[in-house]
Amino acid sequence: MPVPCRRGCGKNAVLKRPKTGDALCKECFFWAFETEIHYTITKAELFNKGDSVAIGASGGKDSTVLAYVLKTLNQRYNYGLNLMLLSIDEGITGYRDDSLETVKQNRDDYEMPLKILSYKDLYGWTMDEIVAQIGRKNNCTFCGVFRRQALDRGAAMLGVKCIATGHNADDIAETVLMNVLRGDIARLKRCTAITTGSEGTIPRVKPLKYTYEKEIVMYAHYKKLVYFSTECVFAPNAYRGHARALLKDMEKIRPACIMDIIYSGETMSVKEEVSLPTQRTCTRCHFVSSQEVCKACVLLEGLNKGLPKLGIGKSSKAKRMLEEYNAKQAENEGTLKDAIKDLNDTSSIVARNERISGKKKSANKENNDTCNKNDCCGRSCKSNPSNVDPVTSNKKLDMLLEQFGLDDKESVKQKLNGVCDTNEDSSEVTPFNEQEEDDTCSASCGGSHIGF
Amino acid sequence: MNCKKCYSPSTVILRKKDYYCDNCFMLITNHKFRACLGKNKVLIPYENVMIGLSGGVGSTVLLDLVHHATSLENTKKLRISPFCLHLYDDDSRELAESIIKQCQTYKIDVFVVHQAVYINSKYELPEANTLQKICESERRDFKDLMNSMPPSAANDFLLKIKRILLVEFAKKINCSVVFTAETTNTLAVNLLTNLAIGRGSQVQYDVGFCDNRDDKVKIIRPIKDISIEELNYYVSIKQLTPVNYNHIKSKSLQSVISSFVSELQDNFQATISTVCKTADKIGDQRESINSEKCLICESDLDMKNMKMSAFEATNVSRIVSLKDSQADPTYQETSDILHHMQNNTNTSVFPLINKYLCYGCSRNHSEMNLHKLPNQLQKALRTNNLGI
């Protein structure tokens, strides 16, 4: 039986909003969805008139919808923003290469300039190469830490006033849970802020902070937006997955709990006597850090020295690792000199990397077990790549339609029966949503600094 | 493997890696209990203390720990006069009877109160060591009330009711301190639950060592640093008999979180202690003593100053999803929506929030059948609402 649209426009509703339970027709949904984001942007004063804004674009649903909605609202309400797309190429075969094609499509469709920065150029390593070193665990730490800095670098190059990211309500709620599980009080405190960034850094804003992932998927679907919907081939082992699983289970019981968790995060305060790390700049790369040397530099150093686990876990462990490494190096005077030269010479990362690629072989031997794992399930197994069309095989969307769509179209139903299995949604990971918090060993976990 | 402390053969393994013998383990556990009371300095000597008993492992051990500490004859004697209180309902009569027996072995008086007294807020102290009689209508109304809402709200609401009953009956027997027996496991679950139901600002009262929301009675949690794993060893070493009884309704946020936490704990042994350490860092000093309190949970209604909150966002979602009575429904200006929200509090998702109810209780309120609420509460909410 058709359900009439709650706004009384006379049309039949196509979906039930998960946040409030109201049923809306397609047109009213578009309008409500956009108006809410407009409200958030203006009430929280995310932008100033005339600002240049970089949209962190991954090609996934969140950033695609963000780019589309910002473009629409910018025109409708005269924000006077100069919007551009900023993408990071992590170098993940079978995932990022395909999604970047989608971003290029967005660039053409929305007529925005696009800047792509790659890990290879910035750090001398692609994620494929990093995973070959570190194995299937902890790799999201590298990706997240590097992406965060890469976005900063890109934004600085573009000369923008702020970076808008596609974090949605689900992501934020998930992050709150994850920070509690990991005991990361500093991030717990700031993760629900709609604007983040201290003085001297380029602020990041989250216009979709109060927008449900489900509605984003529905919006993209009904608007027929082109986006990329494959899960990152390396993501399944991330710790974030636990928080995600819990949130999905809770959402089934009480859909509003996502907003409740965000509200909890917003109203909770941290005891005064708890010491929190202070933000400063890294002594090596001069980007934001809570330590003397930032996480990105520690991780990179580890990679370049053939100690990929250097930045993973407690900093005391890292110190020990470095000592052992240095002792080993001391045996060979020549290599030591080489290493010192490496350390002093930060400008020629790529050249160094070429030299190091020779060393990598020996490093591989040290990490024999991780590499074995990697051979069987790592780079060789790519998920079915490049499905740019959101309609043909997006299981998640089908599931959402089944749950929340009050579908009046018989065809959709048939498709649902055919395609949608009752398995858990293999929810795609939106890459730009992990940058700040996925760093599984927080930079704040140890008070001591690592010096090289 | 041998005990970590005295190198005699071990009998206890904690966190899959720490070995202890019975004696050392009991010493440590007793110490945890005493250290928790000692370092927080809330107890005044010779104070009357009411112990809230549920009959589970936690409360069984707590009772034993208190009994042990009060019967010491040296300088370490715990100088308090304990009383017990058990809240029972129709489904747990047998449990209540076994709790009376349990208390008799320690020669401590227990008052057994029926939860349904909440309905008429008739808080009369029953005769000690007998089940409180209760009239049929109260019993039925209470059942109706609890069944009038979804399981997640019911679980939460029941916790708040129990809290009120503990406080009220503590006042009846002149106790200014109540002991409850939450373990690290319960508190880890409670922290996540509190977050999931929008009670983030109340974490320090619901999960911390001391709940001082009531002016006269403090609720404290002396075994908050002891895990269920340790309690189970304690019970088996001392050969105690807890009556296991799970009161959480299934298919609720609480049950989902509870099974999630124990599963994660199995794989990551540090999970629960990490979560509890996080809880210890959350909270702040009360800003104003005179602030309005939630009519259900007694939490402060003072609002942090925020540019925008999730509550406001939900309200906006509601407004833009409703048929609009005004001529111009386009909400061109953000101020239009703001204006609408201020003038139409009745369309708000939580009409009573921040005036009479906190966010978490507002959520429950929105999901329950309001006619089943206790009369005096209905009246308070209704008159207040009309008085806006």
Q: Do the chains contact at B194 and A39, CB–CB below 8 Å?
A: no
Are both B231 and B348 inside the same structural domain? no
Using the 3D structure, point to which of B264, B281, B298 is the last residue of a domain.
Answer: B281
**Cβ-based contacts of B197 with chain A (< 8 Å):** 257, 260, 264
Query: 3-class SS at A25?
Result: coil
Angstrom distances, CA of residue A200 to CA of A192, A196, A383, B351: 21, 12, 41, 42
pLDDT at A374 over 90: no
Q: Where are the beta strands (DSSP E) in A72-224?
A: 82-89, 114-118, 162-164, 195-196, 204-205
Tell me, what's the pLDDT at B159? Answer: 93
Enter the tokens of residue B271: 């999970």
Q: Which of residues 113-142 of A touch B (CB under 8 A)?
A: none
Residue B314 lies in a domain: yes
Residue B304 lies in a domain: no
Q: How far apart are CA B261 and CA A158, in angstroms?
A: 44
Number of domains within chain B: 2
Are both B266 and B321 inside the same structural domain? no
A4 interfacial to chain B (CB closer than 8 Å):
no
Q: How far apart are CA A149 and CA A288, in angstroms?
A: 8
Are both B323 and B179 inside the same structural domain? no
Are both B116 and B241 inside the same structural domain? yes
Q: Do the chains contact at B323 and A6, CB–CB below 8 Å?
A: yes
Q: Do the chains contact at A44 and B307, CB–CB below 8 Å?
A: yes
**Residues A1-23: b if buried by 16+ CB within 10 A, e if exposed:** eeeebbbebeeebbbbbbbbebb
B380 confidence band (pLDDT: 50, 70, 90): confident
CATH of the domain at B106: 3.40.50.620
- Decide: A179 and A188 in contact? Cβ < 8 Å: yes
Q: Do the chains contact at B200 and A265, CB–CB below 8 Å?
A: yes
Residue B251 lies in a domain: yes
Residue B108 lies in a domain: yes
Q: How far apart are CA B172 and CA B136, in angstroms?
A: 24
- Decide: A296 and A149 in contact? Cβ < 8 Å: yes
Q: Do the chains contact at A44 and B320, CB–CB below 8 Å?
A: no
- Decide: A367 and A133 in contact? Cβ < 8 Å: yes
Cα within 13 Å of Cα(B145), Cβ side: 24
Helices (H), B197-296: 203-206, 228-238, 253-267, 271-281
A448 confidence band (pLDDT: 50, 70, 90): very low
Q: Could you report the per-residue pLDDT of B91-146, keeping only the tens digit for each?
A: 888 888 889 988 999 999 999 999 999 988 888 888 888 888 888 888 899 999 99
Using the 3D structure, point to which of B281, B298, B331 is the last residue of a domain.
Answer: B281
Q: How far apart are CA A417 and CA A412, in angstroms?
A: 9
Q: Do the chains contact at A259 and B309, CB–CB below 8 Å?
A: no
Q: How far apart are CA A242 and CA B192, in angstroms?
A: 13
A225 interfacial to chain B (CB closer than 8 Å):
no
Q: Do the chains contact at A39 and B260, CB–CB below 8 Å?
A: no
Q: Which of residues 304-343 of A touch B (CB under 8 A)?
A: none
Cα within 13 Å of Cα(B259), Cβ side: 13
Q: How far apart are CA A334 and CA A342, in angstroms?
A: 12
Provide the mean pLDDT of chain A. Answer: 76
Share of chain A above pLDDT 90, in %: 31
**Cβ-based contacts of B278 with chain A (< 8 Å):** 179-180, 183, 185, 188
Contacts of residue A144, Cβ cutoff 8 Å, sequence gap at least 6:
A434, A435, A436, A437, A438, A439
pLDDT at B79 over 70: yes
Q: Do the chains contact at B309 and A42, CB–CB below 8 Å?
A: no
Domains in chain A: ranges and CATH? 15-129+137-273+425-433 (3.40.50.620), 280-377 (no CATH)
Using CB atoms, which residue from B200, B253, B324 is nearest to A254? B253
Residue B17 lies in a domain: no
- Decide: residue B337, CB within 10 A, 0-12 exposed, 13-18 middle, 19+ buried: buried
Q: How far apart are CA A158 and CA A339, in angstroms?
A: 34
Strand partners, A89: A118
Q: Could you report the per-residue pLDDT of B254-286, keeping only the tens digit for each?
A: 999 999 999 999 888 889 999 999 998 998 755
Using CB atoms, which residue from A8, A182, A271 is nearest to B323? A8
Q: How far apart are CA A297 and CA A284, in angstroms?
A: 7
Q: Could you report the per-residue pLDDT of A412-423, keeping only the tens digit for each?
A: 444 444 443 434
* Chain position carrying tokens 């780079």: A379
What is the complex's ipTM, to 2 decimals? 0.92
**Strand B47-53 with B177-179, pairing:** parallel
Report angle CA A366, A318, A334 to the nearest 5 degrees: 60
Angstrom distances, CA of residue A297 to CA of A303, A319, A320, A349, A410: 10, 14, 17, 12, 55
Query: 3-class SS at B131?
Result: strand
Are both B196 and B255 inside the same structural domain? yes
Q: Do the chains contact at A19 and B309, CB–CB below 8 Å?
A: no
Using CB atoms, which residue from B150, B281, B329 is nearest to A270? B281
Angstrom distances, CA of residue B255 to CA of A240, A246, A264, A376, B160: 21, 11, 19, 38, 17
Q: Would you give the end-to-end CA distance of chain A in angstroms?
A: 69
Enter the tokens of residue A447: 């008070």
Are both B194 and B240 inside the same structural domain? yes
10 Å Cβ neighbour count for A46? 22
Are both B269 and B351 inside the same structural domain? no
Q: Do the chains contact at B278 and A259, CB–CB below 8 Å?
A: no
A188 interfacial to chain B (CB closer than 8 Å):
yes
User: How near does any CA of chain B get to the CA of A234, in Å?
Assistant: 21
A216 confidence band (pLDDT: 50, 70, 90): very high
- Decide: B182 and B223 in contact? Cβ < 8 Å: yes
Over residues A258-263, the mean pLDDT reads: 95
A256 interfacial to chain B (CB closer than 8 Å):
yes
Share of chain A above pLDDT 70, in %: 70
Using CB atoms, which residue from A42, A250, A269 is nearest to B196? A250
Enter the tokens of residue A389: 């069309």
Residue B7 lies in a domain: no
User: Which range marks the domain in which residue B315 is found?
Assistant: 310-386
A8 interfacial to chain B (CB closer than 8 Å):
yes
**Cβ-based contacts of A180 with chain B (< 8 Å):** 191-192, 195, 275, 278
Are both B339 and B275 inside the same structural domain? no
Q: Could you report the per-residue pLDDT of A42-57, keeping only the tens digit for each?
A: 989 999 999 999 999 9
Q: Where are the beta strands (DSSP E) in A153-301?
A: 162-164, 195-196, 204-205, 280-281, 288-289
Q: A-B interface: how many C-beta pairs under 8 angstroms?
A: 173
Residue B218 lies in a domain: yes
**Cβ-based contacts of A245 with chain B (< 8 Å):** 260
Using CB atoms, which residue from A7, A210, A261 is nearest to B195? A261
Q: Give the orientation angle of helix A169-182 with respect to helix B184-196, to 10 degrees.
A: 160
Q: What are the DSSP calls for A203-241, one per residue?
A: -EE-TTTTS-HHHHHHHHHHTT--------TTGGG-THH
Using the 3D structure, point to which of B229, B262, B281 is the last residue of a domain.
Answer: B281
Residue B27 lies in a domain: no
* Chain position carrying tokens 């029972």: B88
Are both B225 and B351 inside the same structural domain? no
Residue from A278, A231, A268 nearest A429 by CA: A231
Are both B163 and B264 inside the same structural domain? yes
Are both B208 and B326 inside the same structural domain? no
Are both B53 and B154 inside the same structural domain? yes
Using CB atoms, which residue from B200, B307, B324 is nearest to A267? B200
Q: Do the chains contact at B304 and A267, CB–CB below 8 Å?
A: yes
Q: What are the DSSP calls for B24-69, one per residue?
A: HHHHHHHHHHHHHHHHHT---TTEEEEEEE-SSHHHHHHHHHHHHH
